[in-house]
Amino acid sequence: MSKRLERVVLIGRDLELRVVSLAVRAREVANDVVLFDTGSNDETMELAHEIDCQVVPYGGSLHPRDVCHALESNNLNEGTTLFLPITSQWKLSELPLSVNRSREGWDIHYVYLPEDDHGGKEGDPVLDQTNLRHLLVSPTGCRALASLPDNSPSSMLEDGLKVRLVEAEQPIQLPQRQSLATASRFAQLFYWMLESKHPLLLFGIPGVVLFVLGYRLSGDLAGMFTELNSTSIGVTLVTIAMTLIGLFAMMVALILYIMGKQVARVQHQYNWPNNNARG
């Protein structure tokens, strides 16, 4: 088995603030990244298309048989595939742990949460009564899972497969203050702006800083210098230049942001190839 993953499949919805960073990190460990979109209402799919990430509309459950069947149906079953459901609890730091399993030669490595307390006897869970937390499959393992009948226990998998099933512990839900949640959302937004080179970040923030500094300094110039000389004139010109550059940078940021939205709308309206090349 190859040491490098062939594909990472991200499963989730409304990942507008995370999809770019997730795809960038996943491409560092895999040859291809696919998004199984479960019904996004934001710009997740548009952003995925912009970074050449294939999007597959997915309406199934988080059962291993369903996701493997979707992979087979879309002819994406070559090579080793890692499925990762992206939830609010999933952290990017968990990706290396999942990737390391691909180097151990498993046909099926499944980390799951049982849907209830009746998910089959211990060590032999009914796969349709579990929810996927991490699934690594080889082409053989993918075909075996996709062909299982309803309510199949894990013991029905072929004997020749190298299989490991691990029941995950339920994550501990700690109460968080609203300020921490807001800070987390802002951090995700800031990281997305960095990854996507957003004009409001590249020009807007430096522009605001320069404009505010120039404005504050200009208020003190009248009482700072009592006579005109080379020093006072130089400081005055620098302050004026700082204020104007800041104002110009803010205007450029707004113009680029508005133009980017308009271009994206036109591309979406006329189905330009760069938006649908891999969709």
Domain boundary among 167, 187, 214: 167
Find the CATH number of the domain harbouring 86: 3.90.550.10
What is the domain range of residue 252? 197-276
Pairwise CA distance, residues 209 & 246, whole Å: 7
**pLDDT higher at 105 or 198:** 105
* The predicted structure's pLDDT at residue 207: 79
Domain boundary among 148, 167, 186: 167
Tell me whether residue 149 is in a domain: yes
Give the model's confidence band at 143: pLDDT under 50 very low, under 70 low, under 90 confident, else very high. Answer: very high
Q: What is the pLDDT of residues 199-254, one digit of tens each?
A: 666 677 777 888 888 777 776 655 555 555 666 677 777 788 888 888 888 888 78
Do 217 and 100 belong together in one domain? no
Tell me which DSSP letter residue 98 carries.
Answer: H
Last residue of a domain, one of 167, 189, 211: 167
Judge if 159 and 25 occupy the same domain: yes
Shared-domain flag, residues 147 and 204: no
Within a domain: residue 238? yes
Residue pointed to by tokens 């994206």: 264
Look at residue 148 and tell me if it is in a domain. Answer: yes
Asked if 38 and 117 sit in the same domain, the reply is yes
Instruction: Work out how many domains the chain is built from and give that number.
Output: 2
Structure tokens at 189: 């937004």
Residues 102 and 236 placed together within one structural domain of the fold:
no
Is 186 part of a structural domain of the chain?
Answer: no
* Dist CA 71 CA 142 (whole Å): 8
Residue 18 scores a pLDDT above 50: yes
Q: Say whether both 133 and 252 belong to one domain.
A: no
Angle between helices 64-73 and 139-146 (to 10 degrees): 110
Q: Are residues 78 and 27 in the same domain?
A: yes
Does residue 144 sit in the same domain as residue 226?
Answer: no
| Pairing, β 5-12 against β 30-37 | parallel
**Do 113 and 206 lie in a common domain?**
no
**Hey, how many other C-beta atoms are within 10 angstroms of the C-beta on 14?**
16
Q: Which residues, in sequence order, are bridge partners of residue 35?
A: 10, 55
Residue 101 lies in a domain: yes
Residue 61 and residue 137 share a domain: yes
Q: What is the pLDDT of residues 19-70, one digit of tens each?
A: 988 999 999 999 999 999 999 998 999 999 999 999 999 998 999 999 999 9
- Provide the 8-state DSSP code for 29: T
Cβ proximity of 35 and 14 under 8 Å: no
Q: Burial-class residue 165 by CB neighbours within 10 Å (0-12, 13-18, 19+).
A: middle
- Within-domain flag for 178: no
Taking residues 129-151, report their average pLDDT: 91
226 lies in some domain: yes
* pLDDT > 80? residue 268: no
**Within-domain flag for 15:** yes
Please check whether residues 117 and 226 belong to one and the same domain. Answer: no
pTM, rounded to two decimals: 0.60
Cβ partners under 8 Å of residue 191, min gap 6: 17, 21
Q: Is 102 helix (H, G, I), strand (E, B) or coil?
A: helix
Rounded Cα gap, residues 86 and 134, in angstroms: 10
**What are the b/e assignments for 114-143, b being 16+ CB within 10 Å?**
bbeeebbeeeebbbbbbebbbbbbbbebbb
Segments of the chain assigned E as strands: 5-12, 30-37, 54-57, 81-85, 108-114, 120-121, 124-125, 130-137, 163-167
Phi, psi of 119 (to 5 degrees): -85, 30
Identify which of 83, 56, 44, 86 has the alpha carbon closest to the alpha carbon of residue 192: 44
**Any idea what DSSP says for residue 84?**
E
Residues 157 and 221 in one domain: no
